[in-house]
Amino acid sequence: MTTSNNQNVPGENNLHSTIIMENSQNFNTYGNKKYIIDVILNNKACMICVNFARWFPVFLVFGIVGWAYYAYIFILCFGVIDFLFKRIFFILILHILLILFIWSYLATVFTDNGKIPEEFYLPYEVNEDVKNAETNDAAKEIVRRYVKMHNLPIQTRMFDQAYRYCHQCAMVKPDRAHHCSICKKCILKFDHHCPWVNNCVMYSNYKYFMQFLGYGVVLCFFVALSNLNTIIVFVREISSHSGTLNSVGTSFQLVFLEFISIMFGISLLCLFSFHIYLISKNRSTLESYKVPVFTFGVDKNAYNISLKHNFSEVFGKQPLFWFLPICSTSGDGIIYLSNCSGTANYTHEEAVVSINNITNDSTVRVVNSCEENILQNRGDVTNIGLNRENDNRKFENDTESLTSEEEKSDYENNSIGTRNCQ
């Protein structure tokens, strides 16, 4: 007796079901976008292609700059301009701007993220406890205890008042730090990831990025203006049909140079102006649409101390170094001064009152305890108030020196705002 082809042998149904389940699981797994990306990034050939794609904008920038240099020097200066002094002047100015532009661009490309202190990284055992926590609240409580135990200088929170924690890096995020999905690490004062520099714009290279934009604007418009007269002559020759074939071909390169210069000049000017505005408000690009959260709530102006302070934080305290692509950025990328933007800014932090250069229009700035040491080390504030106990003692001594009850009452009324901030 023969067995039909359609007849199933014992156990075949179970085997067939197992194969279907495995294929279904594989389909779901391979259909997962994250899984596909991980497979690509773990393949050497794919990684070479990805790295080339990331570096291609940088190569393109140098290619455009190289061709523009050839067109400006050899076609315009040596081929069109006859006046020697004018030629020397154009070449000299171009090289000064070009050196500053390339210097700041390379600094933006190759400057690495600042070193994040080890205490922000959770030990292996603590990180495992976070991973294996039964609930999200339990994991957040573990992180909270770790922050308090190590006294980490952190002001920002998540919307549920939990500390910001990066699961990929297994670390508590410092203030203004965010994880870059392209660089695969947390970046100090993360602004954005710029494909044109194949790097993040961040605390350590933000000054170089601004100089790259600024010198790029000046360089582009200098080339456009110095080449403008040649373009006018070329247009007249075209309209009168008096140009030779060779001169027309040469002039077309200068026309394209003019177009490239104006196009990139306007683009860089818009981006440069936007970042000047951000610096004046002491915000990053990310913070401009994702407002930082504190214990007292959100505050888009939390880091906006003053115009001078905001620019000094990026470019440094010495104005002479503002225009040179050298490291002069203030601070360490971890701790930032912040304003008192409410009646209870630091309800969970010990606050101190800092008064700098007391004048008729002086303002009282409240900072938390983790900022006090930074202020003392930097010398930004001449008189930093003591803790609550010392400040209360000073308040009592001052009131005792007043003679009348009316004077004491006026003093208390004028001081109540400062005492409430604490």
Smallest Cα–Cα separation from 66: which of 31, 104, 101?
101
Q: CA 294 to CA 172: how far, in whole Å?
A: 15
Contact 338, 296 (CB under 8 A): no
Classify residue 244 by its DSSP letter. -
The C-alpha torsion from 213 through 219 and 222 to 226, rounded to 10°, is: -150
- Which phi-psi region, left, alpha or beta, contains residue 399 (left: φ > 0; alpha: ψ -120 to 50)? alpha
Q: CA 60 to CA 55: how far, in whole Å?
A: 9
User: 49, 169, 186, 194: which one is catalytic?
Assistant: 194
Please identify which residue in the block is written with the tokens 């104006």: 262
Establish whether 340 is a catalytic residue.
Answer: no
Q: CA 268 to CA 345: how far, in whole Å?
A: 38
Q: CA 171 to CA 168: how far, in whole Å?
A: 8
> What's the gap between Cα 191 and its chain centre?
2
* Half-sphere CA count of 205, side-chain side, radius 13 A: 26
* Half-sphere CA count of 280, side-chain side, radius 13 A: 6
Contact 304, 355 (CB under 8 A): no
Helix (H, G, I), strand (E, B) or coil at 169: coil
Q: CA 306 to CA 309: how far, in whole Å?
A: 5
Q: CA 341 to CA 301: how far, in whole Å?
A: 8
Helix (H, G, I), strand (E, B) or coil at 92: helix
H or E stretch at 30: helix 12-30
Q: What is the 3-state secondary structure (H, E, C) of 271-302?
A: HHHHHHHHHHHCCCHHHHHCCCEECCEECCCC
Strand pairing partners for 365?
354
Helix, strand counts (H, E) of the chain = 13, 11
Token duo for residue 398: 């001052």
Catalytic site positions: 194
